[in-house]
Amino acid sequence: MNRKIPEEPVPEEPIPEELRERAYQGKSTKEDAFQLLEIPPLELFRFADELRSLAVGDAVTYVVNRNINFTSRCLGTCGFCAFRDMNGYILSLDEIMGKVKEAKRENATEVCIQGGLLPDVGLDFYLGIVEAIKAEFPEMHIHAFSPMEVYHAAHSSGITIKEALFRLRKSGLESMPGTAAEILSDRVREIICPSKLRTGEWIEVVRQAHAAGIPTTATMMYGHIETREERIDHMLIIREIQKETGGFTEFVPLPFLPYNNPLGEKLMKEGRYATPGIEDLKTYALSRILLHGHIDNIQASWVKLGKKLAQFALYCGANDLGGTLMEENISKSAGASNGERISVEELEWMIHGAGRIPKERTTLYTGVYRMAPGNSRKIQGF
């Protein structure tokens, strides 16, 4: 007697079709985000990787740059900061220029300049740094001064944010790091950085920067006291700003490092440590999905994640590995142990090892191509 073999049940699609369709259209909702976080991680990563491929293809970018933290002194009271030291250093302009010259020797296209908030220091201090660099190295891209620094400089000088940004742009500032965002929730900010600008103030500085022709990055420092909803809200706030201004070049999720700072010490006493790797990767994947169609570039921080987890993040929605840095003080102070600098050769080895195509970029995501002889280079679009 012939027996009928029962048909295998068709497995249910882990990501509902209507949710996928909204993601393709750049219209994912907060409810979608909660649902995505309940999906098995590998399925979530696979979907984020699919959207990454649609947005940017298989190229993985990096920038040859140098960090310059001009002072460790700061008026701020951020509970997560291990870098602040009111008896710390302040670099002279000559010392800053020495670091720019080192960057130039190592073929950097960008210097990234940030520092603590100094008392009684107004906009002229920041203008002096920018103008000195541009006078000697007009081709060097200056990526500098967080929204908090601009806010502080403007208020110290008794001028508007708009005027401060106009003068910085005129002096040669070309883009700004979107740091000081932490989590864009006033509940969180009141606890972890009570003296820092409020959510609405951060948004206003960034909007004004974009209006002044100064693009910025966007960051999110997660993994401390924020809720899942506050993380999601943060990403959706960034998306709304981008829909209005188009001024963000990339989104950079930054896991909180709990070492050597008061906030981290408190959390570790409660049995809460650095975020698990899977949680980090889910955060990268979720950012790719929520920001699809709005911000193409999701950066994985090799300093924060470590090189191997950053490499795996390239299969979870990330398409950029950040910069060579040459010096990294802030994360190192908070216990990061992944190094202060990385060579172009190692970055490209990591990217090839992930089965992707390495491409050097500028700060604003145009291409940089090496040409013989003498490793000279030119900049053009990808």
| 144, 164 Cβ separation under 8 angstroms | no
Write out pLDDT tens, residues 129-163: 999 999 999 999 999 999 999 999 999 999 999 99
Indicate the length of the chain as a whole number. Answer: 382
In whole angstroms, give the CA distance from residue 253 to residue 56: 18
Note whether residue 12 is domain-resident. no
Whether the predicted pLDDT of 252 surpasses 60? yes
Note whether residue 159 is domain-resident. yes
**How many other C-beta atoms lie within 10 A of the C-beta of residue 10?**
6
CATH number (domain holding residue 219): 3.20.20.70
Letter string b/e over residues 277-305, b meaning 16 or more CB atoms within 10 A of that residue's CB: eeebbbbbbbbbbbbbbbbbbbbbbbbbb
Q: How many domains does the chain have?
A: 1
Q: Which two three-digit tokens encode residue 255?
A: 């896991």
What are 176's strand-pairing partners? 216
Whole-number pLDDT of residue 179: 95
Q: Is 375 exposed, middle or buried (0-12, 13-18, 19+ CB in 10 A)?
A: exposed
- Whole-structure pTM value: 0.91
Q: Which amino acid is at 298?
A: I
What are 80's strand-pairing partners? none
Residue-number span of the structural domain to which 314 is assigned: 28-380
Give the three-class secondary structure for 374.
coil
Note whether residue 342 is domain-resident. yes
In whole angstroms, give the CA distance from residue 34 to residue 212: 36
In whole angstroms, give the CA distance from residue 51 to residue 251: 15
Note whether residue 13 is domain-resident. no
Note whether residue 18 is domain-resident. no
Note whether residue 22 is domain-resident. no
Q: Which amino acid is at 353?
A: G
In whole angstroms, give the CA distance from residue 228 to residue 220: 13
Give the angle 249-327-264 at the CA atoms, nearest 5°: 80
Write out pLDDT tens, residues 189-226: 999 999 999 999 999 999 999 999 999 999 999 999 99
Instruction: Give first-to-last CA distance, the chain, whole Å.
Output: 65
Note whether residue 7 is domain-resident. no
Dihedral sign for Cα 96, 98, 301, 85, please.
Answer: negative
Whole-number pLDDT of residue 321: 97
pLDDT classification of 333: cutoffs 50, 70, 90:
very low
pLDDT classification of 84: cutoffs 50, 70, 90:
confident
Note whether residue 21 is domain-resident. no
